[in-house]
Copies of this chain bind each other. A is one copy, B any other.
Amino acid sequence: MFRSEKQFVDWLRSVASAGSAKVKQGIGDDAALVSAGGSKDLILTTDLSIEGVHFTRALHPAPAVGHRAFARSLSDIAAMGGTPRFALVSLGLSRQATRAWVEGFYRGLFALARRHGVEVVGGDTALVPGSILIDIILTGEVSRGKAILRSGARPGDQIFVSGRLGLSGLGLQLLKSRAKRSGNLQLAALAVNAHSYPEPQCDLGRLLSKQGLATAAIDISDGLSSDLDRLCEASGVGARIWENLIPGPWEPAQGRSPSREMLRLALHGGEDYQLLFTVPSAKASRVPRRYRGVQLRGIGEVTRLRKLRLIRATGKEETLISAGWDHFQKSKF
């Protein structure tokens, strides 16, 4: 079997057809981008959510399963700078799933879809022998030539992230521990909510596309270290980021250094669905510090040397290991 997702995707690209002029971006980005003939390009994306891999019924109520599954695809459209339009929902139901579960699932899904102006126009359904499986297919549109790809980052570009990273990972830890917490209840609530009902950054993606600010973007679905690696790999560049600039799950006003665990979550925790994007130095000052309630923060720079480097708070520079989620290697549960 393939050893990693990257090995699989490289193989698949090598055997897939060469690609006509209509295909602007095929296998290997957040979503596919094809010419639709008119003034808009068509974005196509699909994301699997599987019981026992991406969610469990013990930790995730049905509406959260629907919301999270839909958020994965919305976030891909956001990363391309597009506007989501139409969705198909494929659902494989196990015999254990109740009607109440199905209704809750769609309630969560439709609520998020409506908020983003997406219409669910079809799908497929089957009874399956094992776990519940969901595949969310989403189309989006973007003005011709204005989509943001992973591959456009250039040495010298500044690296930005939206929101706080690692909150979703912290939320999952809290859900799994089921411990009564005497600690920071406000942070705990924020983290569990970030995990159960993540908010894809479609508005921000559109801003970056419309204003031509970003040279490249990717959504942080598998963790900053892994998704930064993918963006750099696609762009043929490296990156240097500063630990103490990364907006982690901790409270910024806490007044002391974040714990190792909090740092690990910020660097490698997935499912935050924030955007990671690169901006030419000359335009960096045009990136607002906050957009529609979400902070945007510069965390480093793109380098010619094709390596990922992390500058610790102590000033020590080291290799940043991609330790986020690889879909071929492990499950979170």
A residues near B (Cβ < 8 Å) are: 1-2, 5, 8, 12, 15-17, 19-20, 22-23, 25-27, 29, 31-32, 34, 36-40, 42, 44-48, 50, 52-54, 85-86, 88, 90, 92-93, 95, 97-99, 102-103, 106, 110, 113-114, 119-131, 133, 135, 137, 139, 327-329, 331
Please judge, given known A-B contacts A86-B32, A114-B17, A133-B133, whether A327 and B48 are in contact too, CB under 8 Å: no
Closest to A26 in B: B121
Give how many copies assemble into the complex.
2
Closest 4 CB pairs of A and B: A130-B130, A32-B121, A32-B122, A135-B135
Task: Report yes or no: B50 in contact with A137, Cβ–Cβ below 8 A.
Answer: no
Collect the chain B residues with CB atoms within 8 Å of residue A122's CB: 26-27, 29, 31-32, 44-46
Closest to A95 in B: B1
Smallest CB separation, A120 vs chain B (Å) = 5
Closest to A2 in B: B99
Q: How far is the CA of A236 from the CA of B114 in the complex (A)?
A: 30
Q: How far is the CA of A48 from the CA of B136 in the complex (A)?
A: 12
Collect the chain B residues with CB atoms within 8 Å of residue A93's CB: 1
Q: How far is the CA of A202 from the CA of B64 in the complex (A)?
A: 39
Partner of A12, one of B36, B90, B106: B106
Collect the chain B residues with CB atoms within 8 Å of residue A121's CB: 19, 23, 25-27, 32, 34, 44
Q: How far is the CA of A205 from the CA of B331 in the complex (A)?
A: 43
Smallest CB separation, A212 vs chain B (Å) = 23
Interface of A is mostly: mixed
Partner of A119, one of B5, B23, B53, B110: B23
Collect the chain B residues with CB atoms within 8 Å of residue A133's CB: 92, 128, 133
Task: Report yes or no: B102 in contact with A2, Cβ–Cβ below 8 A.
Answer: yes
Partner of A137, one of B85, B88, B131, B328: B88
Q: How far is the CA of A54 from the CA of B92 in the complex (A)?
A: 12
Smallest CB separation, A90 vs chain B (Å) = 5
Collect the chain B residues with CB atoms within 8 Å of residue A31's CB: 122
Task: Report yes or no: A120 in contact with B27, Cβ–Cβ below 8 A.
Answer: yes
Task: Report yes or no: A129 in contact with B130, Cβ–Cβ below 8 A.
Answer: yes
10 contacts across the A-B interface (CB closer than 8 A): A17-B114, A19-B121, A26-B122, A27-B120, A34-B85, A44-B122, A44-B137, A46-B90, A48-B124, A129-B331
Closest to A93 in B: B1
Collect the chain B residues with CB atoms within 8 Å of residue A36's CB: 36-38, 42
Collect the chain B residues with CB atoms within 8 Å of residue A135's CB: 46, 48, 90, 124, 135, 137
